[in-house]
Structure 1
């Protein structure tokens, strides 16, 4: 067995699972598309169209959560620009992703995830804070907490 091999039957000799490899390819494609769009006046509209198309491809449940998050981000942090981030919905300021959604169904994971990049302003004076959250049929209280976190992260 090679030193990079794992017990995961989906992992190849380089250590990446099929889902990880697909995410890397998606990210490379996103970067190429963004480079082409830098000169386009319709970049923001095209990026949002790509994001909405990706949400539409998600399995039921994940799609509804992603749509709800898209709505929350739009109302709480309208300055964040929708864009794909490793093939999943992300929201950026000045080209840097602040927060993102990962579809558990598309990632073949147990649950979906809502997370924050290091660009998010969530630093805690204790030096300890979460950077992602599992989402599985969130309650209204959870959606309100997510809205508060987005607001804090973009302050």
Structure 2
């Protein structure tokens, strides 16, 4: 339960978040409203995962984003507005989560962008287990139970 986060809208977002955390990426905020930036309509802009203090965000694009014209246009507007305000966006698809090597490469991309913006990252080349990650978050697991 220590790894569960509120405000997560899809299993892919959870896989993404936990996959990169296993490589040492700090826990980003899920589905966070970006302060001070809106769509032309005035609606708030949110990101799937964001490290607001470093202006780095990750967006997961499922296959439906390619076929929904309205969603595609909205995402383009969002990304252009964020980039105009100095945000770095990393776009993730299912292909980035297909296996351990792909997740490691994604985690390295995210680590690099966070480090370029001032974050300190203790990158794990080989992913730690979910159990070890939970322990780092304060979870105590006793196999004897």
TM-score (norm 2): 0.41
Which is bigger in relative contact order (C-alpha 8 A, separation at least 6)?
2
TM-score (norm 1): 0.39
